[in-house]
Amino acid sequence: MENQGLYLTEFQSKLLLKRLQSDLRLEYRRRIEIMLLADAGKSQTEICESLKCSAETARYWIHVAQSGQAHLWDSRPMGRPKKVTPEYLHRLAELVQSNPKEYGYPFRRWTAPWLSKHMAKEFGLEVSDRHIHRLLKQMGLSNPRSSNLSNQPSDTAAAGSTITIRDLQAVPNPNFLWSLNLIQSRR
């Protein structure tokens, strides 16, 4: 009979050693090394010093080894859990392609803050404006410069020196256009 470790069965020990020889992410490798070192009798402090890991990480994986759960070394996902689901992304894409007025908002174009607020109401999931921008970019739905240009009236875009203000709610006659002629000064 081989020399038995403190916490791991012979099978668990062989399995972890075999996995350690494969190409693993650093974090997974560290989990296995922590359990093997703990099984060999190393203290938490010694493990932290040799593997350059936090005491929390070492304590957690030592406990996993002690409780006989070493085979679960790869079951706990890495990093922050994903909140955004495919349903969330699908709905976000639908919203971007729709008019916010359909949902009772007073504006004609969605902004990331308003998309974030609206999606939080629908899904109960708060996502930052910055992440909304990232998601839209990943979906190929974010190109603010081209969308701003495409919504300009053609006569205004051609003039270049005239600013037209439309959709003013306070103006008694909604067909009335305010025009400003800009004078270009030379130095």
* Amino acid code (one letter) for 42: K
CA distances from 158 to 146, 149, 150, 185 (A): 16, 12, 13, 20
**Span 141-156, pLDDT tens digits:** 875 543 443 344 444 4
Q: Residue 28 has which token pair?
A: 């997974």
Confirm whether 81 is domain-assigned: no
Query: Alpha helix (H) ranges present in the chain?
Result: 10-20, 26-39, 44-51, 55-66, 86-96, 112-123, 129-138, 144-150, 154-159
In terms of residues, how long is the chain? Answer: 187
Report the percent of the chain where pLDDT is more than 70: 71
The tally of domains found in the chain comes to 2
Choose among 93, 112, 114: nearest CA to 104. Answer: 114
**Span 9-25, pLDDT tens digits:** 999 999 999 998 988 88
**Span 169-184, pLDDT tens digits:** 554 555 545 444 555 6
Inter-residue contact 57 to 30 (CB < 8 Å): yes
Mean pLDDT of the chain: 79
Confirm whether 167 is domain-assigned: no
106-141 core/surface letters (b: 16 or more CB in 10 A; e: else): eeeebebebbbebbeeebeeebeeeebbebbeeeee
Confirm whether 158 is domain-assigned: no
pLDDT band at 125 (very low <50, low <70, confident <90, very high): confident
Show which of 72, 97, 115 is a domain's final residue. Answer: 72
Which residues contact residue 142 at a Cβ distance below 8 angstroms, ignoring those fewer than 6 apart? 133, 136
pLDDT for 98 equals 93
How far apart are the C-alpha atoms of 77 and 28, rounded to whole Å? 10
Confirm whether 80 is domain-assigned: no
Report helix, strand and coil shares of the chain as percent, to nearest 5. 50, 5, 45
Confirm whether 165 is domain-assigned: no
Task: Tell me how crowded residue 35 is: count the other CB atoms within 10 A of its CB.
Answer: 27
* Domain that residue 94 falls in: 86-150
